Amino acid sequence: GESVGLHLPTLSVQEGDNSIINCAYSNSASDYFIWYKQESGKGPQFIIDIRSNMDKRQGQRVTVLLNKTVKHLSLQIAATQPGDSAVYFCAENNKDSSYKLIFGSGTRLLVRP
Amino acid sequence: ETGVTQTPRHLVMGMTNKKSLKCEQHLGHNAMYWYKQSAKKPLELMFVYNFKEQTENNSVPSRFSPECPNSSHLFLHLHTLQPEDSALYLCASSQGWDRASEKLFFGSGTQLSVL
C-alpha cells in the first residue's frame, strides 16, 4: 500500500547548524512531493515542493533532495534558527492516489539556543 | 496569514450538541478541503470540494456533514459526535483539484473537544 513515513520523530539541533529531515515513501509511481511546516497552534504551511523529474530544488535556506532510487526525500535547512522549531511533514501524490496528497507522520524539529 | 480563515479556533461540545465549523478562503481558489489531524496520526483527508461540487468523501461518518455554498466558503456541520472525534480540524484550499501538483493552503484549524 501507499505510505509516507519519517525516520526520526524528533530532531534536536543547535542554533546555527544545518538540519536534515528525512522522509521515506513507498510508491515508486509518486511524482510530486511537498514539505510542510506546522508550528504550534497553526496549520501546516507550505515550504517547498519538487517533481519527480528533479533531484534537487532550492529555496530560501531550504533545499529538498529527492532520491528516486531508494525512494527517499529530505529537507535541509541551513543555519537553523529558533523560528524553525516546528513539526515538518512530507507528502506525496501520484496517479494511484488520484493525486490526493498522502501525508507522513511528521518530525518535530527542536532548535537549541 | 495564509489566506484561509477558520472559525472558531476552539470548540468544546457535548455528544448531543450540534455545531458548525466555518472556513473562508481569500485566495481565489476553486477547491476546498477538510482534514482531520489527531495526535500521532497523519493528516486524514475527509472531504474535497471542487468548484462547489463534492468530489471526495473519504468514508467519513454521517455525523460530519460538509457544505460548500460557493468556492470561497466551506462548512462542517457536526452532530452527535463521539469523544474520539476530538481533534484539530483543518480546512485547506487549492487552485483546482485536477492538477497533479496541487499546493494546499491551510487554515489554522479548529481544535475540537467532544465531552
Judged by CB atoms closer than 8 Å, whether chains meet at A32 and B100 is answered as yes
Chain A environment of B109 (Cβ under 8 Å): 42-43
* Nearest one of B100, B101, B93 to B25, comparing CA atoms: B93
Q: How far is B26 from chain A (nearest CA, A)?
A: 16
Residue of B nearest to A99 (CA): B100
- Residue B6 is predicted with a pLDDT of 98
What span, in angstroms and rounded, lies between the C-alpha atoms of A80 and B36? 30
Judged by CB atoms closer than 8 Å, whether chains meet at A44 and B107 is answered as no
At residue A82 the predicted structure's pLDDT band, cuts being 50, 70 and 90, is: very high
Chain B environment of A34 (Cβ under 8 Å): 103
Digit-coded pLDDT (tens) for A42-71: 999 999 999 999 999 999 999 999 999 999
Interface of B with A (CB under 8 A): 2, 4, 6, 40-43, 45, 48, 56, 90, 92, 97-109
Residue A7 has pLDDT above 50, yes or no: no
- The three cell numbers locating residue B35: 482534514
Q: Between residues B93 and B56, which one has the greater pLDDT?
A: B93
- Residue B56 is predicted with a pLDDT of 85
Q: How far is A24 from chain B (nearest CA, A)?
A: 14
Digit-coded pLDDT (tens) for B27-72: 999 999 999 999 867 899 999 998 888 888 889 999 999 999 999 9
Contacts of A77 (CB under 8 A, 6+ apart): A18, A19, A20, A21, A61, A62, A84, A109
Residue B98 has pLDDT above 70, yes or no: no
Residue of A38, A52, A88 best to disrupt the B interface, most CBs of B under 10 A: A38
Judged by CB atoms closer than 8 Å, whether chains meet at B102 and A41 is answered as no
> If you average pLDDT over each of B13-27, B31-45, B87-101, which comes out highest?
B13-27
Chain B environment of A106 (Cβ under 8 Å): 42
Average pLDDT, chain B: 92
Judged by CB atoms closer than 8 Å, whether chains meet at A101 and B102 is answered as yes
Q: How far is A72 from chain B (nearest CA, A)?
A: 18
Mean pLDDT of B74-79: 97
Please state, as a whole number, how many other Cβ atoms lie within 10 Å of the Cβ of residue B11. 18
- Integer CA distances (angstroms), A52 to A21, A65, A66, A100, A111, in order: 19, 10, 8, 16, 30
Q: How far is B4 from chain A (nearest CA, A)?
A: 10
Q: Is A108 exposed, middle or buried (0-12, 13-18, 19+ CB in 10 A)?
A: middle
Please state, as a whole number, how many other Cβ atoms lie within 10 Å of the Cβ of residue A65. 17
